[in-house]
Structure 1
Amino acid sequence: MQIESLSKSNYPDVANIYQQGISTGIATFETKVPGWEDWDKSHLPYGRLVAVEGNTVLGWAALSPVSSRCVYGGVAEVSIYLAEQARGKGIGKQLLNALIAASEENGIWTLQAGVFPMNKASIALHEKCGFRMIGYKERIGQLNGQWIDNILLERRSKIVGI
């Protein structure tokens, strides 16, 4: 397995994995996968990674800005999704650690993640990679008519912004 840069050419596989995450009902408030142009605009130009084995994309991770205000330029939100067949095999940890390294190479001092409380695997993955729970947003959004909380996780760099 290799970690590579995510590009437009592998976006169909990325979109398929994103749809698998949406279908679980525990990964995101999104209900449909955006097209490449919208996805591209909403993510930072760096920190876009795919885990690939052979010609198969097993997962993806990317960074999004948390704000357009310059003071938050060193803060990014993490997205990470794994294909159904890749879950529970340590691929997520390799992918998230690579994303952390890419974020620090680009001056990011704080990574944030918002995770549904029922997504225990994602919470555990983030904690294994140095994130800590800092709180939650109660009933922050609805999915399929159900109010859902969002657990807030944060990772502060030990090399950037200290």
Structure 2
Amino acid sequence: MAVITFKENQVTLLGSEVKVGDKAPDFTVLANDLSSVTLGDSKGTVRLISVVPSLDTGVCDAQTRRFNEEAAELGNVKILTISVDLPFAQRRWCGANGIENVQTLSDHRDLSFGKAFGVAIEELRLLARAVFVVDSNDVVTYTEYVSEATDHPDYAAAIEAAKAAE
């Protein structure tokens, strides 16, 4: 299991760590209109899944903006940003920040994604910062569990992995 810290304090991640070559586990999260979204809803496309603790923090804001900007270069890659923020807050944040190329999804209801991908922080009921690339056959081709949740992920590596999976 990945060992991570949040503000330099070690935290417990719920679920199983996902590894390159694994079949991506299914999950159910909520779209901004409260409809359910599963991994299967985007089957047949490459997915870059950007996981953030909360959009209302500096690093999460920057991460989501960065992948929103990179989306134009990624062609047939769907970018999903998942957090435990409420869907209403996600919609408000996206509208206020002009985020149109990333789909924000909420895992607040039951941590389905967090537990399936091993990123649910038990002590905080937040998601750990991570990035996953899932190819069009639902195989995980890239993973990054950011060791300190307040640090940035390796954007360049994630973008290259998404391009390679197309």
Superposed pair shares fold, TM > 0.5: no
Give the TM-score of the pair, scaled to structure 2: 0.31
Structure with bigger RCO (C-alpha 8 Å, 6+ apart): 2
More helix by share: 1
Give the TM-score of the pair, scaled to structure 1: 0.31
Larger Rg: 1
